[in-house]
């Protein structure tokens, strides 16, 4: 049995799905372990673009099964819509999706609460995807949330939903409750056949050749505990979350690949030390098509932040880097990497999680020569311009982890393996 984790190591949208897809052809299982449909995972192949929200990115490979672990939260109605739209597009999903029986639910109330909380917070809102993710996870922690197996027991389901509204000091009319129960019953008619025990499926599997690919959603700097709290998501987005989110201990993972973009992006609010407010940021946004796949929001753009990147590499114990979107830099004269944070006149290589501290940071930059050439066809390290090679070397050296996968375009084919840095 072999297992690989593909983990977003910045603020999400690192093009993780592209890397999962690149490696996924050989995987028996692609497994999501946290997050929900706040994720927007894009794969481009054969001129066709797919965006997945709850369904793991392995679904394009007909022999790969897609597993959803207990650490994920599922919006049953949105999930069915996603299944239907993929099937309408010609993908065969029957028997290929398995959801752990302990998986939590996102209910209509959670979306309402997400929206209301963002409105109430106003000036200090988080900028969530408004998919109900935060309220769903907090209800699970408060032990008033619902689990997917509750759908199998209609009377219990009704009681739990009533109790959930009561817990939030809200009332639900009989008509609305019946409407919700009806929709959930319809969803269950489809979902029931997907529900299984992911823990035993992974841990008690007798197949010695089994290959598992764990697919992270969001990014480690959005982790509830180690991210830039409170400007984070509500799930744990770290290597260790594989264990809590699937039952397959993170200790057993053979290889951890941290995915980084050649620059940084962030959607939503929160401090972002290397953020660009000039025409270079604008240019990267346009060339890289940096608009949210879930909400369509323009992504904030910044230079590569090696302080944040090293922190993320360290807390997740990554073995190698997959560097994406290198092609987006073509034509930019001068590139920058933040090597240190300057705080109160002192330089440090330590990341700061507190928003008031991170906001004060003055990034210290190392400057690199850019390149003119369009590199979207350079499918080997040797074909890259010297300046691009130097840039990759610098990332491996600053993060202290070798770069092993390089992506130079959005299509599946525009990816290659080459070891940069390391021993």
54 binds ligand IMO (CB under 6 A): no
Confirm if 104 and 136 have CB atoms less than 8 A apart.
Answer: yes
Instruction: Pick the stretch among 38-46, 349-357, 396-404, 409-417 that binds ligand IMO (CB under 6 A).
Output: 38-46
Whether 277 sits among the annotated catalytic residues: the reply is: no
Instruction: Pick the stretch among 212-220, 328-336, 394-402, 407-415 that binds ligand IMO (CB under 6 A).
Output: 212-220
Smallest separation, CB 126 to ligand IMO (Å) = 5
The residue (of 220 and 408) whose beta carbon lies closer to ligand IMO is: 220
Smallest separation, CB 42 to Mg ion (Å) = 7
Marked catalytic residue, from 21, 26, 28, 41: 41
Site string for ligand IMO, 229-248 (x = CB under 6 A): ----xx--------------
Q: Mind spelling out the 3-state secondary structure of the chain?
A: CEEEEEEECCCCCCCHHHHHHHHHCCCCEEEECCECCCCCEEEEECCEEEEECCCCHHHHCCCCEEEECCCEEECHHHHHHHHHHHHHCCCCCCCCEEEECCCEECCHHHHHHHHHHHHHHHHHCCCCCCCCHHHHHHHHHCCCCCEHHHHHCHHHHHHHHHHHHHHCCCCCCHHHHHHHHHHHHHHHHHHHHHEECHHHHHHCCCCCCCEEEEECCCCHHHCCCCCCCCCCCCCCCCCCHHHHHHCCCHHHCCEEEEEEECCEEECCCCCCCCECCCHHHHHHHHHCCCECCCCCCECEEECEEHHHHHHHHHHHCCCEEEEECHHHHCCCCEEEEEEEEEECCEEECCCCCCHHHHHHCEEEEEEEECCCCCCCCCCCHHHCCHHHHHHHHHHHHHHCCCEEEEECCCECCCEEEEEECCC
218 binds, among Mg ion, ligand IMO, none (CB under 5 to 8 A by kind): ligand IMO
Smallest separation, CB 69 to ligand IMO (Å) = 15
218 binds ligand IMO (CB under 6 A): yes
8 binds, among Mg ion, ligand IMO, none (CB under 5 to 8 A by kind): ligand IMO
Smallest separation, CB 179 to ligand IMO (Å) = 25
8 binds ligand IMO (CB under 6 A): yes
72 binds ligand IMO (CB under 6 A): no
Whether 13 sits among the annotated catalytic residues: the reply is: yes
Interface of this chain with Mg ion, residues 31 to 90, rule: CB under 5 A: 40
129 binds, among ligand IMO, Mg ion, none (CB under 5 to 8 A by kind): ligand IMO
> In the complex, which residue's CB is closest to Mg ion?
40
The residue (of 104 and 402) whose beta carbon lies closer to ligand IMO is: 104
Q: Choose, by CB under 6 A, the member of 222, 313, 325, 399 that binds ligand IMO.
A: 222
Which residues lie near Mg ion (CB under 5 A)? 13, 40, 293
Report the catalytic residues. Answer: 13, 41
Which residues lie near ligand IMO (CB under 6 A)? 8, 12-13, 38-41, 126-129, 131, 133-134, 217-219, 222, 233-234, 267-268
């Amino acid at each position: 049995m072999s297992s690989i984790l593909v983990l977003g190591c910045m603020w999400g949208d690192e093009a993780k799905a592209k890397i999962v897809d690149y490696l996924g052809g050989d995987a028996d299982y692609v497994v999501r372990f946290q997050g929900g449909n706040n994720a927007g995972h894009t794969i481009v192949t054969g001129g066709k673009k797919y965006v997945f929200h709850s369904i793991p990115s392995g679904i394009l490979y007909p022999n790969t099964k897609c597993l959803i672990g207990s650490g994920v939260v599922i919006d049953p109605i949105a999930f069915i819509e996603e299944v239907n739209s993929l099937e309408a597009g010609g993908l065969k999903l029957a028997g290929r999706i398995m959801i752990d029986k302990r998986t939590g639910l996102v209910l209509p109330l959670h979306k309402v609460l997400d929206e209301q909380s963002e409105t109430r917070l106003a000036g200090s809102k988080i900028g969530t995807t408004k998919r109900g993710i935060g309220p769903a996870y907090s209800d699970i922690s408060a032990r008033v949330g619902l689990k997917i197996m509750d759908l199998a027991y209609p009377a219990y389901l009704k009681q739990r939903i009533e109790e959930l509204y009561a817990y939030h000091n809200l009332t639900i009319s009989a008509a609305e409750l019946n409407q919700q129960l009806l929709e959930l019953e319809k969803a269950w008619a489809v979902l029931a056949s997907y529900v299984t025990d992911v823990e035993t499926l992974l841990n008690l599997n007798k197949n010695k050749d089994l290959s598992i690919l764990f697919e992270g959603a969001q990014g480690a700097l959005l982790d509830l505990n180690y991210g830039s709290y409170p400007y984070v998501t509500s799930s744990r987005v770290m290597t260790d979350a594989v264990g809590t989110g699937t039952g397959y201990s993170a200790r057993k993972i053979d290889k951890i690949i941290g995915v980084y973009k050649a620059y940084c992006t962030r959607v939503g609010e929160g401090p972002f030390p290397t953020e660009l407010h000039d025409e270079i940021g604008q240019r990267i946004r346009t060339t890289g098509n940096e608009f949210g796949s879930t909400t369509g929001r323009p992504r904030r753009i910044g230079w590569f932040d090696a302080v944040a990147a090293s922190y993320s590499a360290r807390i997740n114990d990554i073995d190698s880097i997959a560097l994406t979107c290198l092609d987006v830099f073509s034509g930019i004269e001068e590139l920058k990497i933040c090597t240190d944070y300057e705080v109160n006149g002192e330089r440090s290589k330590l990341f700061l999680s507190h928003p008031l501290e991170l906001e004060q940071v003055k990034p210290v930059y190392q400057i690199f020569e850019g390149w003119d050439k369009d590199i979207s066809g350079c499918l080997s390290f040797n074909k890259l311009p010297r300046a691009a090679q130097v840039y990759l070397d610098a990332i491996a050296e600053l993060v202290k982890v070798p770069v092993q996968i390089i992506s130079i375009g959005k299509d599946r084919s525009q990816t290659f393996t080459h070891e940069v840095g390391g021993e």
